[in-house]
Structure 1
Amino acid sequence: MLVALGLAAAPLTALAQDKMPVNAHQYAVDHPVPDVTLRLAPTLGASVPAQVQLAAIEGTKDFGYFYYDGRPVLVDMATRSIVRID
């Protein structure tokens, strides 16, 4: 449980097209979107269904996000797996 919480709190950064680091979590916090409804609550490592529209993070294509229960959920765009739940 503690390991999962540590991973959930780790900062996620990606290099933007101009090679400047982008803090994906902070971007998602600063740009909230309407909540998504899911059958089950999201969990780390779970795949996000294709019907869930992911918001883009300006400057990078590595991560996307959606909101669930008022919290941002960060997703690896290559695998659609959840990498952080805040």
Structure 2
Amino acid sequence: MNKVLTLTAAAFIATSGLAFAQDSVVIEVPQSARDYVIAHPADPVVIEDELSQGYVVPQNIVVRPIPESPGYGYIYVDGRPVIVSMQNRRVVYLTDTYGDVPGEVITYVERNPVDTIIIDGPVATGTVIPENVPLVAVPDQPRYSYVYVDDGRPALVDNGTRRVVWVR
């Protein structure tokens, strides 16, 4: 029973924007900050360690500020938005999802490869795919299409903006 309650509480916290700081203080990340981070993807950074709540982001990684929430900044790691306290560089919010992209969409894209295309410059979260590049629709997901880029990596694209929202 205790495991069920713990898992239920963890699920609530993961979806509500609440996070526990290192000293077990609950931090509520404003919805506006989470919305901003999803709407403004950044180039991904590489973190070798296991990323979790309370992790201190190394000084050599640039944390972008969130304009309407000056106490917070963000980075993208593996296509996932990560919100960081600007005071101590600790991770205060991250999810197991890729922004608002459902996991089954990622699974579909990875299980249905297409011919690779070459795009000038690096392809990362936030890259705009040129209009002349054909996109492949994701069935039952009118918001998304995809391509495989450069070295055979899948990239999920928002149909409205042609921006990459996830890339392996």
TM-score band (shorter)? 0.7 to 0.9
2:86 maps to which of 69, 77, 82: 77
Of the two, which has the highest radius of gyration? 2
Please give the secondary structure, in 2, of the residue aligned with 1:72: strand
Which residue of the partner structure matches residue 14 of structure 2?
8
Which residue of the partner structure matches residue 123 of structure 2?
none
- 1:47 aligned onto 2:56: yes
Amino-acid identity (%): 31
Q: CA deviation at 1:40?
A: 1.6
Which residue of the partner structure matches residue 57 of structure 1?
66
Deviations 1:2-30 (A, max 9, x none): 344443333322xxxxxxxx711110000
Q: CA RMSD in A?
A: 1.8
Please give the secondary structure, in 1, of the residue aligned with 2:44: coil
Q: CA deviation at 1:64?
A: 0.1
TM-score, structure 2 normalization: 0.42
What is the aligned residue count? 78
* Amino acid across the alignment from 2:68: G
Structure 2 residues not aligned, in runs of 5+: 1-5, 18-28, 96-168
Distance 2:11 2:81 in 1: 15
Deviations 1:14-66 (A, max 9, x none): xxxxxxxx711110000000110111231111111001100111133110000
The alpha-carbon distance between structure 1 residues 50 and 6, as it changes in their structure 2 partners (threshold 3 A), is: farther
Distance 1:57 1:40 in 2: 24
1:36 maps to which of 27, 31, 45: 45
Distance 1:36 1:76 in 2: 17
